[in-house]
């Protein structure tokens, strides 16, 4: 696996790029396929390392997974295990999403406590508290969570402290197999949650309120296999749009719904970039200078934390001072240290970053701290003087399919290198 990406800065970008299915939906749909005995087909599945990991997780539970191009087929006719072991969960935190489907299908789950992306303490207390309200008995020890509902789960009224994406998803799946009605208040509203609800309903679940913060789930006694296409990846799209905005020229991104990017697009426009949208596509064009823009991350429809590092790069070379407030993941500013090594002027105070625009960045060796931070460093390299070598790119490959070829097709000078070769 290549470990570094070499970026030579200074090229304008132009042309179009098509994004794949959303990582954050596709991963959950693979787990959700466990609900139904039989063969489920999931289309528009991105070809990324995290999808391979989730495929391994469900294969470890006895499902048979087969991929052909962007179609993933999950045969969950028979499950042979209810345990997601540490090796898997440590590799990818999102593995805890098997909790809900395993409880729904087998009444039992044993899942290692997650490690995961390096972006702050990521607790799972909301997942566990909600499951307990559904009647699940939970014990933990030796790094594992054991969850069991021998007499079945029963519907409950759950109010989440915070609209957690993962907790909402686990509770949607568990609640779908509980007896009676479950109401989740303060539920997450992300497009990926809406996609999961559509998927579950097509399997026989009865969920209402997708896209709102109160979701009502009528429990059902069985699920059937389905055929579904993953929603387009708004974060991958946003990343290429910021690349276009940074590097000047004109870039069209296809494959994601512009409605899912509303706030991101308004911030790109506020930064002095011309933004136009059509069905399933967005074009950014910039001739003038970039301007400072303030933003604060919040659960959807707020500004996505997964776009925060890319915007820090954008504002680092804009005229004026921008304030970026991170409300979702407390340590997501670690990436700023790397950007500072490229000449950015960023001061962090608690969960706020003050970004004073500089006239240019300078190429440097840097390391991807995590998935989005890594992608953002490659974007920084696009506008830096000279060469930037971004290390630890396995983080980027977890979530971006063909990142280097797609940037190259837009005219960027980007290539994989093996520093040890
Ligand atoms: C998902 C996304 C991730 C995105 C995030 C927020 C996947 C695979 N990942 O992560 O890319 O950045 O949503 O949009 O879909 N929290 C608790 N207790 C809990 C659960 C969460 O305190 O039980 C806190 C977390 O520490 C964090 C915040 O809530 O500070 C948001 O977490 P959550 O929405 O659950 O994110 P993930 O589902 O982990």
**Which atom, in ligand 1's list, is nearest to the CA of 305?**
12
Q: Evaluate: CB of 329 within 6 angstroms of ligand 1.
A: yes
Helices 23-32 and 191-202: angle between axes, nearest 10 degrees = 30
- What is the 195 CA–ligand 1 centroid distance (Å)? 17
Q: Evaluate: CB of 129 within 6 angstroms of ligand 1.
A: no
Long-range Cβ contact pairs of 90-94 (< 8 A, separation 24 or more): 90/114, 90/115, 90/116, 91/53, 92/27, 92/50, 92/53, 92/54, 92/57, 92/116, 92/398, 93/117, 93/122, 94/24, 94/27, 94/28, 94/50, 94/54, 94/166
Three-state SS across the chain? Answer: CCCEEEEECCCCEEEEEECCECHHHHHHHHHHHHHCCCEEEEECCCCCHHHHHHHHHHHHCCCEEEEECCEEEEECCCCCCCEECHHHHHHCHHHHHHHHHHHHHHCEEEEECCCCCCCCCCCCHHHHHHHHHCCCEEEEECCEEEEECCCCCECCEEECCCCCHHHHHHHHHHHHCCECEEEEECCCCCHHHHHHHHHHHHCCCEEECCCCCEEEEECCCCCCCCEEECCECHHHHHHHHHHHHHHCEEEEEECCCHHHHHHHHHHHHHCCCEEEEECCEEEEEECCCCECCCEEECCCCCECHHHHHHHHHHHHCCECEEEEECCCCCCCCHHHHHHHHCCCEEEEECCEEEEECCCCEECCEEECCCHHHHHHHHHHHHHEECEEEEECCHHHHCCCCCHHHHHHHCCCEEEEECCCC
Can you read off the two tokens belonging to residue 332?
């997501």
Q: How distant, in Å, are the alpha carbons of 239, 353, 381 from that of 283? A: 13, 28, 22
The C-alpha atoms of residue 357 and residue 345 are separated, in whole angstroms, by 7
- What is the 109 CA–ligand 1 centroid distance (Å)? 21
Q: Evaluate: CB of 27 within 6 angstroms of ligand 1.
A: yes
Q: How many residues does the chain have?
A: 421
Q: Evaluate: CB of 403 within 6 angstroms of ligand 1.
A: no
Give residue 418's pLDDT.
79
Give residue 419's pLDDT.
63
Q: Evaluate: CB of 328 within 6 angstroms of ligand 1.
A: yes
- What is the 164 CA–ligand 1 centroid distance (Å)? 5
DSSP bridge pairs for 378: none
The C-alpha atoms of residue 120 and residue 53 are separated, in whole angstroms, by 22
Residue in 117, 231, 282, 324 annotated catalytic: 117
Indicate the top mutation candidate among 46, 91, 162 to test ligand 1's pocket, ranked by most ligand atoms within 8 A of CB: 162
Give residue 141's pLDDT.
87
Q: Evaluate: CB of 306 within 6 angstroms of ligand 1.
A: yes
- Is 355:312 a contact under the CB 8 Å cutoff? yes
- Tell me whether residue 261 is exposed, middle or buried, using C-beta atoms within 10 angstroms of its C-beta: 0 to 12, 13 to 18, 19 or more: buried
The C-alpha atoms of residue 313 and residue 324 are separated, in whole angstroms, by 11
- What is the 122 CA–ligand 1 centroid distance (Å)? 7
Give residue 117's pLDDT.
47
**Closest Cα to atom 16 of ligand 1:** 123
**Which atom, in ligand 1's list, is nearest to the CA of 169?**
38
Active site residue 117: yes
- What is the 215 CA–ligand 1 centroid distance (Å)? 18
- Give me the tens of pLDDT residue by residue for the chain, a chain 421 residues long: 679 999 999 999 999 999 999 999 999 999 999 999 999 999 999 999 999 999 999 999 999 999 999 999 999 999 999 999 888 888 888 999 999 999 999 999 999 987 644 545 568 999 999 999 999 999 988 889 999 999 999 999 999 999 999 999 999 999 999 999 999 999 999 999 999 999 999 999 999 999 999 999 999 999 999 999 999 999 999 999 999 999 999 999 999 999 999 999 999 999 999 999 999 999 999 999 999 999 999 999 999 999 999 999 999 999 999 999 999 987 788 899 999 999 999 999 999 999 999 999 999 999 999 999 999 999 999 999 999 999 999 999 999 999 999 999 999 999 999 766 6
Which of 259, 264, 197 has its CA nearest to residue 228?
197
């Amino acid at each position: 696996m290549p470990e570094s990406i070499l970026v030579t800065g200074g090229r304008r970008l132009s042309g179009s790029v098509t994004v794949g299915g959303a990582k954050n939906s596709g991963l959950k749909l693979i787990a959700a396929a466990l609900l139904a005995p039989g063969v489920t087909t999931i289309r528009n599945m991105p070809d990324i390392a995290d999808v391979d990991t989730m495929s391994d997780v469900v294969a470890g539970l006895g499902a048979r997974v087969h991929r052909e191009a962007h179609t993933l087929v999950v045969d969950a006719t028979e499950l042979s295990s209810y345990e997601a072991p540490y090796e898997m969960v440590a590799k990818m935190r999102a593995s805890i999403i098997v909790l809900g489907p395993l409880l729904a299908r087998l009444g039992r789950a044993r899942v290692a406590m997650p490690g995961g992306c390096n972006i702050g303490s990521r607790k799972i207390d909301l997942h566990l508290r909600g499951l307990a309200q559904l009647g699940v008995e939970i014990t933990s020890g030796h790094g594992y969570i054991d969850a069991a509902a021998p007499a079945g789960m029963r519907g409950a009224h759950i109010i989440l402290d915070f609209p957690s994406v993962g907790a909402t998803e686990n509770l949607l799946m568990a609640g779908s197999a509980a007896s009676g009605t479950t109401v989740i208040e303060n539920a997450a509203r992300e497009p990926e949650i809406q996609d999961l609800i559509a998927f579950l309903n097509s399997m026989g679940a009865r969920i209402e309120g997708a896209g709102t913060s109160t979701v009502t789930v009528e429990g059902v006694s069985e699920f059937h296999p389905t055929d579904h296409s993953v929603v387009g990846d708004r974060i991958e799209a946003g990343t290429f749009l910021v690349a276009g905005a940074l590097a000047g020229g004109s870039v069209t991104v296809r494959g994601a719904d512009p409605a899912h990017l509303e706030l991101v697009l308004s911030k790109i426009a506020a930064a002095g970039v011309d933004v136009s949208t059509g069905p399933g596509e967005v074009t950014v064009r910039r001739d003038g200078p970039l301007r400072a823009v303030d933003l604060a991350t919040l659960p959807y429809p707020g500004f996505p934390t997964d776009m925060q590092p890319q915007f820090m790069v954008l504002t680092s070379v804009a005229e004026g001072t921008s304030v970026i407030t991170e409300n979702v993941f407390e340590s997501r500013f670690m990436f700023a240290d790397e950007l500072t090594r490229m000449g950015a002027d960023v001061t962090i105070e608690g969960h706020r970053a003050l970004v004073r625009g500089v006239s240019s960045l300078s190429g440097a060796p840097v390391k991807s701290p995590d998935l989005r931070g890594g992608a953002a460093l490659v974007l920084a390299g696009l506008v830096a003087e000279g060469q930037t070598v971004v290390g630890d790119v396995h983080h980027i490959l977890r979530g971006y399919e063909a990142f280097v070829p797609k940037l190259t097709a837009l005219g960027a000078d980007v290539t994989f290198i093996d520093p040890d070769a």
